[in-house]
Structure 1
Amino acid sequence: MTTRRSAAGDALTELVLPVFELNGEFLEAARDIAGPEGLTSAQWQVLGATLDEGLPVAEIARRVGLGLARQSVQRTADLLVERGWAEYDENPRHRRAKLLRPTAGGRAAVERLGAAQRSWADAVGAAVGAEQLQAAVATLLRVIDASRQVRGVVG
């Protein structure tokens, strides 16, 4: 016997593919914005997470989230250091977990990306409308919270 989903379950299922497609679109847009600067979208995310303070890789992975594993963030951080956009510094709280900090060149690169990101965000935002986008954010946050509650995940 096949059990059908509820109307709400069907609606949630219909949301999944467009959300995945939107994630892919955002990643492509990030590539378009970051590419001319020589950064990948992952490098931009990791570097951006360190603008206010140096962070250990594990903390960057937690903050950036979005499914990036600590090992992936570590490889990205190492590449940023290799290319001169970031550096490792001593961590007074942990001997082995160095802090990743942007270099002046890395900070300047992220600042240059800001103008392109603002232009893209303004154009896409104007095409959709602030009210619709705000409503979408509220809905997505409710879906995330509900999913975490059902899965028994805190936070």
Structure 2
Amino acid sequence: MPGRTPEGDALTALVLPVFALNGELLEAAAVITAPHKLTPARWQVLGAVLEEPLPVAKIARRVGLTRQSVQRVANDVVAQDWAHWQPNPGRRGQNLLVLTGKGRRAITALTAEQHAWADTVGQEIGEKNLKTLGTLISRLTDASRRYRQAAGEEPSP
């Protein structure tokens, strides 16, 4: 079996640092959300419907999670009165998740902490580098999805 290409080696070398970054981002989110009785998962789902009501499947695609995990969190935020279900005029059976006033206030309340974190961390890295990284992450995600789809795997979020 042939070895990897230099590009394959470079991509493989990124895996552990990306996992570490994911863990760090989740920890930072936990610190930001805890004083507001939210979790990173709740924040993610509520943030997805900040601008417009969405069905669970669309939230899952937007945030890159499974429909089942988003459904569980959505049910939780509804039980906490941070959101409610609204009939979807376009698709019966796929209700829309809508922020309540309490949910909007919760998201607004943690905004100052999120801005302070983003400004401080972002300043260390620099706007240009962060924009380049964002573009590269999107390209890498798309390339991996294309590979998996070509291999016959089900598309994921």
Runs of 4+ in 1 over 4 A off after TM superposition: none
Does 2:50 align with 1:54? no
Stretches of structure 2 that go unaligned for 5 or more consecutive residues are: none
Kindly provide the amino acid, as one letter, of the partner of residue 49 in structure 2.
T
Please name the residue that 1:94 is paired with. 91
Does 2:7 align with 1:8? yes
Kindly provide the amino acid, as one letter, of the partner of residue 102 in structure 2.
G
Residue deviations 1:91-114 (CA, integer Å, cap 9, x gap): 222332211111101001101121
Q: 1:131 to 1:11 in 2, by over 3 A?
A: same
> For this pair of structures, how many residues does the alignment match?
152
Please name the residue that 1:42 is paired with. 41
Distance of 2:78 and 2:100 partners within structure 1: 9
Please name the residue that 1:82 is paired with. 79
SS of match in other structure, 1:79: helix
Kindly provide the amino acid, as one letter, of the partner of residue 18 in structure 1.
P
SS of match in other structure, 1:119: helix
Distance of 2:80 and 2:14 partners within structure 1: 39
Identity across the alignment (%): 52
Q: 1:150 to 1:97 in 2, by over 3 A?
A: closer
Shift of 1:152: 4.1
SS of match in other structure, 1:88: strand
Please name the residue that 1:108 is paired with. 105
Stretches of structure 1 that go unaligned for 5 or more consecutive residues are: none
Shift of 1:63: 1.6
